[in-house]
Each structure stands twice: as C-alpha cells, then as structure tokens.
Amino acid sequence: MFNRLRSKLGPAGLIVAIGALVLAVAGGAIAASGALTGKQKKEVTKIAKKYAGKPGPAGPAGPAGPAGPAGANGKDGANGTNGAPGTNGKSVVVAGSAAGCANGGISIEVEGSGSKKAICNGQTGFTEKLPPGKTETGAWAFNSPLEKELIPISFTIPLDAPLAYEDAHYIDADGKEVTALGSGRVDSTDCLGTAAAPTANPGHLCVYAADEPAFATLIFFPAGTPDFGEFGAHVSGARVFMGGMPGWNPTIENNEAKPLPQNIAFGTWAVTAPE
C-alpha cells in the first residue's frame, strides 16, 4: 500500500500526505501554527479529509457541573388599572307578618322582587304533650313496714290520652311480667328493657323492679282515682299497688320496743307515647 501511494503521489506528495495524516491526528496543531502556506493548508486539509477515519462513538456524559449562583430578582411589574365600580345591591325589607307559621314570624322581600319569604319563629323548649313515639323515663322506690303500699309514678311530660289496663305492665326483679293481680309471671312482649335500661313499646307503660319483697303483687290504676274501679295509667302518671306482704305490729317486750321489719322495693319506669 505504501509503494502504491508513493508511485501515485511522488516523494513530495507522499510527504505531504503523511503530514496531513499527522495533522488530522494531532488536531491540526501544525496547520494552526502557520508553518504551511495557504495552498499547502488546503492540500493538507483535502488529503486529511480523504484519508481520515470515521468518527468514533460519542463518549459517556461527564458529571454534572455545580449549580450556578442565583440570578438577581427581576423588577416589580407595573400596577394594574382599577376595575369599574360595581352596581348597588338590592335591599331586603320586612314585608309584614308571615302566614302559616305555627309560632308566628315575619316575611321578608328583596326590594323590587315582588317575592316574599316567610321566617318562622322556632318552637320553644316547653312541650305540652309527649310527642308520638317518644319515650320518657323515671325511677321509683319505697321503704315501709306496711303490708300494702301505693307507689306514685309521675310523667314529666303528660300523655295525650290515658293508657288502658292492658297497656300498663310491671316487670319483676327476675325480668318476668306480673299478670293481673299478681296471678302469674310471663315473658313480656311490650317491655323489653331492664331496670338498668328501661324501655317501653309505643302506647305502653313499663315499670321495672330492681329489687322487691318476696310475693309482691302490683296493679295499676290512674292517678287521682280513689278506688280500684279503673286500671291503667292517667295522662299525668299512675299509682302502683304493692301488696301480699305480711305486716308486723310494733310490740313492747321487757320494756323494750322491737324493731319493725321493712318492706323495700325500687326500680325504674318508661312510658312511650302511641305512634
């Protein structure tokens, strides 16, 4: 290959070609120094391009350089122009009393709208009657040496109507309902609570015993009724008759009074207004 180049270029051309290759490898340092004439530079560049190899693959990326310093803040922009004034709003005026408000109220109207809106007064906290399906509860107790006792039960909020005999129930300390005049004990279907958590189905009064004397019997009759002719519960409450306990009369023996045994019972109650 060397002989073919020499025969084609001649001694001088061969020297120039070799020089061009050297320049190509060295990055053109000689050409940049001014050692060659302009014509020679062109010849060398031409030969270098002709015999130069193909470019190699790109090398790997170098490491990232450090972040540059922060630039200076820009100047504040000019203030925007003021917006146009808005239109005046409509006044709201009282148009008179409101119709259809159970507890009174007023009606208001946006000026020029021709449409009134009622603002009704709210209901006060006082409730004259126990609302349908709502429940109220309470507690009862007595401590007496007597054979029989009447236990009062008062409803804080009155019922709308009295309860019938079959709607008033007594649940003994064992969780059983006492039947008429204490004749038996059955599972209750309307009093499903306990003395600790009294409940009653709608339209029923349930009295729960947490503790009671043995053989106690209870019946109900309306508060204010002087006899046992009517049973059930009054709108304001009921009285519970506790009986069947033997009584003791106080006696004096050896100039010493004997203490009287005490009949004790207590519990809770719940009444729910009919729905």
H or E segment at 253?
A: strand 252-253
Q: Tell me the average pLDDT of the chain.
A: 75
Confidence of residue 272 (pLDDT cuts 50, 70, 90): very high
Over range 169-176, report the average pLDDT.
90
Whole-angstrom CA distances from 37 to 40, 45, 56, 197 are: 5, 12, 30, 117
List the chain domain ranges.
Answer: 2-51, 91-123, 135-272
Of the CA atoms within 13 Å of residue 201, those in its CB half-sphere come to 9
Nearest-angstrom CA–CA distance, 200 and 222: 18
Instruction: Please check whether residue 209 is in contact with residue 172, taking contact to mean a CB–CB distance below 8 angstroms.
Output: yes
pLDDT in tens, 71-125: 888 888 888 888 888 888 778 777 777 777 877 788 888 877 778 888 887 766 6
pLDDT digits (tens, 9 = 90+) for 206-243: 999 988 765 555 556 555 455 554 678 889 998 887 76
